[in-house]
Amino acid sequence: METILPVEYYSELSGVMVDSAVILDNIKASLTNLYVHLKKHKIDICLNNVIFKWLVTLFFENTDESIYTPVMDSLLLYGDMTLYKASILILYFEEKEIMKCDNLCDASIFFDQNLRDFKHKKFSNYLLSKDIFNLNIDDINKLRAKKFPKIKENIKQINEFESKKKKNESGTTCNIDWPY
């Protein structure tokens, strides 16, 4: 797998976070109405969580065998572009149903339960087609390179915060001035 996905993909999850962000950018470009709807109703965070799960588990989480099997086949044959295509394809096929969600609760239920039952006869064919959604690996790699430093910085800040938190739990005093 490490020949297909970068080492940091799983070691610190920075690759997964970068790809989640890039997929959201591609959804914004490819499925504009869906993206606007999710933003309008403040349920885009649900989608981000689902995409994160898909990438961490290579689509074994929250999808049916008819989805994750062709994803794995395509990933091994064609590389990481498969992850982008599969994410956008599932959302493309389910767009009408997702558009019915207008609050966080409905979206959470939909993404956690309904996508598990998602099946589409032509999913494999679409996944293997080359020109779907005008995705281009060079453009994706540029977006990755652009987003990677920010995500690495966020991870660093989280790790520093966790380190301070652990020191505070061990009996030392906290030097953070809280604004309240």
pLDDT score for 179: 46
Q: What percent of the chain has pLDDT over 90?
A: 26
Which tokens belong to 44?
């885009």
Question: Would you tell me the crossing angle of helices 81-98 and 137-169 to the nearest 10 degrees?
Answer: 80
pLDDT score for 92: 92
pLDDT score for 134: 77
CA-nearest of 122, 128, 121, 120 to 72 is: 128
Specify if 178 maps to a domain. no
Residues in Cβ contact with 174 at an 8 Å cutoff, skipping those fewer than 6 apart: 164, 168
pLDDT score for 180: 40
CA dihedral sign, ordered 76, 131, 124, 92: positive
The residue count of the chain comes to 180
Residues in Cβ contact with 116 at an 8 Å cutoff, skipping those fewer than 6 apart: 62, 63, 64
Highest mean pLDDT among 84-93, 133-142, 154-163: 84-93
Specify if 175 maps to a domain. no
Specify if 19 maps to a domain. yes
Specify if 176 maps to a domain. no
pLDDT digits (tens, 9 = 90+) for 47-100: 888 898 888 888 888 788 888 899 999 998 888 889 999 999 999 999 999 999
Domain count, the chain: 1
pLDDT score for 14: 83
Separation between Cα atoms, residue 34 and residue 97, nearest integer Å: 10
Specify if 6 maps to a domain. no
Contact assessment for residue 66 and residue 89, using Cβ atoms and an 8 Å cutoff: no
Confidence band (pLDDT; 50, 70, 90) for 31? very high
**Structural domain for 161, as ranges:** 12-169
Separation between Cα atoms, residue 17 and residue 72, nearest integer Å: 20
Contact assessment for residue 86 and residue 36, using Cβ atoms and an 8 Å cutoff: no
Q: For position 52, which CATH number holds? A: 1.10.472.80
pTM of the model: 0.80
- pLDDT above 90 for 177: no
